[in-house]
Amino acid sequence: MSRVMVIDALNQFLRNYIVDPSLSKNGQPIGGAKGFLKSLQKLTREIKPDEIVIVWDGAYGSRKRKSINKNYKEGRKPVRLNRNVRNLTEDQELQNKVWQQLRVIEYLNELPVIQLKYDQVEADDVISFVTQYSKYDGWQKVIVSADKDFFQLCDNETVVFRPIQKEIMSTKSIVQKFNIHPTNFALARAIVGDNSDNLVGVKGVGLPTVAKRLPFLAEGKYYTIDDVIGYCKEAEENIKAYSNIIEQEDLIKENYSIMQLYAPLLSAITKRHVQNVLTNFVPEFNKTGLLKLLISDGAAEYNWNELFVRFRKIIADTKKTG
């Protein structure tokens, strides 16, 4: 079975940006960019993908969901380095972070990978569309992200690899851990809410309560909010969780419209563009161009051989099957 690795790029970048202490030749932080490439090397070694798709959040990517709930992702603190570097001011640190992210994109432009980024579009929606695209029918899809939102996309061909936790989440492991099937995971999360996205849930109801009081959500059948409300209304037991869910039906519907990825929030134009990029992709590897960038950043001394070998294999295999 062929395998495509789909990376939540900003999630991966920020993880490295925070903790990797690497400095460039001029003494500026470079850990986000260098660490991203190091992580990519490790991922290609462990996952052995035949194709790599890297997806970034676009500018104003949250706009569509903010139009549903203005509080979506409000109150998030800026991601900061976990250390002081030459007494950088907060503004200088922000400028450096932006530069590092752009540098990663420059690195990746020299590699045989697909990069996707669209204004006013969140990476989550593009990743969902990629995993559902017909080109990858019969492929194993490995989503690389720490974000639980992607659990809802798991099926017989799709898993989520969480690098920090070092775990692979599949349909089986999600049901075992949460007693909730991926098909119903967005619905369960809509009831519970998501603090990281500033989405309030039903008071007093967490995932364990959802699993206990709505046990049918562990089934591989798609259930709706109406099914949940109907079940709560018909329950013979006088349980507070049921009454709270009934009272908060509108909140649950709003959360679900924001959290569900089964039908990604993409325009027809964006969908066509993603399809064209994925369908017509021809992998190219400019090793010299990449090394020039790494040398200028003081990152060429790291042993990148594993990464280079994997990329050469991807290109060779593509030529065989192409």
Taking residues 48-55, report their average pLDDT.
96
How many C-beta neighbours within 10 Å does residue 81 have? 18
Tokens (6 digits) for 161:
């690899």
Percent of the chain clearing pLDDT 90 (strictly above): 82
pLDDT confidence band for 86 (50 / 70 / 90):
low
Q: Is the predicted pLDDT of residue 235 greater than 70, yes or no?
A: yes
pLDDT of residue 82: 64
| Confidence (pTM) | 0.95
What pLDDT is recorded for position 25? 83
Q: Is residue 300 predicted with pLDDT exceeding 90?
A: no
Lowest pLDDT segment from 123-127, 133-137, 213-217, 298-302? 298-302
Q: Which tokens go with 242? A: 């049921």
* pLDDT bucket at 93, cuts 50 / 70 / 90: confident
What is the DSSP secondary-structure string of 37-56? HHHHHHHHHHH--SEEEEE-
Q: For position 77, what pLDDT does the model report?
A: 78
**Six-digit token string for 49:** 């993908």
Tell which residue, 76, 108, 91, 97, has the closest CA to residue 20.
97
- Distance CA(9)–CA(167), nearest Å, equals 18
* Residues β-bridged to residue 6: 53, 143
Q: Does residue 158 sit in helix, strand or coil?
A: strand
Question: Which domains does the chain carry?
Answer: 3-171+264-321 (3.40.50.1010), 176-259 (1.10.150.20)
Q: Is the dihedral of CA 157, 165, 121, 113 positive or negative?
A: negative
- Listed in order, strand segments (DSSP E) in the chain are 3-8, 51-55, 114-116, 140-144, 158-162, 167-169
CA dist 132 and 115 (Å) reads 17
**Out of 50-54, 75-79, 157-161, least confident range:** 75-79
- Report, as an integer, the average pLDDT of 92-118: 95
